Amino acid sequence: MKLPLLEWNDVYLIGVEELDFEHKDLFNRLNELHEELARHDDTARIDNCLGEIYARVLAHFALEEKFMQETNSPNYEEHKSEHDEFLEVLVDIVEEFHNNSGLGSGTGLEDQLRHWIIDHIQTRDQELSLGKM
């Protein structure tokens, strides 16, 4: 068993229970992908992990955007734009996987996902901690 790609730490909490729960879930899903890429023997399972990550990220962003609208977040447009850009990156990753029947070692993908998730939670999402859901 490989060490997890991401380890949850309460420093990532933003104080909005529903969003914190989903952030933890994203960490878990990225760790599942990390495990599958380490095994690198079942492309169907990797594809399933990528599909689940995309679906969860899409749902999470919708919830976060709803929260921002309900709390009149002053940075809504910029924050949503970051979400849209990241969804495009995820679509590209899934398409690359399907077109090339794999992701090689997956290290670049994992680094990109880890960096984006941690950076986004610690910067943009921290701005949401002032509101309440």
The confidence score (pLDDT) of residue 133 equals 39
State how far the alpha carbon of 115 is from the alpha carbons of 56, 88, 111, 121, in Å: 17, 16, 6, 10
> pLDDT for 9-26, tens place per residue?
999 999 999 999 999 999
Highest mean pLDDT among 34-48, 82-96, 97-111: 82-96
Structural domains in the chain plus CATH codes: 11-130 (1.20.120.50)
Which tens digits make up the pLDDT trace of 15-64? 999 999 999 999 999 999 888 888 877 788 888 998 999 999 999 999 99
Question: What global pTM score does this model have?
Answer: 0.84
Lowest mean pLDDT segment, chosen from 19-33, 72-86, 113-127? 113-127
3-state secondary structure 90-108: HHHHHHHHHHHCCCCCCHH
